[in-house]
């Protein structure tokens, strides 16, 4: 895989990860918030705060992935 293909693949992966976080926050997936790795965010912010946190994080990831792809082209 050449450098441009790696950049595009990384941008797509980052964008899809962001979309996944956004969907988890908006649809309030119980399994998403009961995951072991999200326990610290749930303890710090509560369920509603965790949804807001993951929504913002997902938006940043999504925009960052799109920007990463477009900036490299």
- 10-42 residue pLDDT tens: 999 999 999 999 999 999 999 999 999 888 999
Question: Could you tell me the residue range of the domain that residue 63 belongs to?
Answer: 3-72
Contacts of 18 (CB under 8 A, 6+ apart): 57, 58, 59, 60, 61, 62, 63, 64, 65
Overall domain count for the chain: 1
Q: Whole-model pTM?
A: 0.88
- 34-70 residue pLDDT tens: 999 888 999 999 999 999 999 999 999 999 999 989 9
Name the burial class of residue 24, with classes exposed (0-12), middle (13-18) and buried (19+) by CB atoms within 10 angstroms of its CB.
Answer: buried
């Amino acid at each position: 895989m050449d450098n441009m293909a790696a950049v595009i693949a990384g941008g797509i992966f980052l964008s899809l990860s962001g979309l996944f976080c956004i969907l988890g926050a908006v649809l309030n997936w119980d399994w998403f918030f009961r995951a072991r790795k999200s326990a610290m965010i749930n303890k710090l912010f509560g369920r509603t705060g965790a949804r807001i946190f993951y929504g913002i994080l997902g938006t940043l990831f999504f925009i960052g992935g799109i920007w990463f792809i477009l900036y490299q082209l």
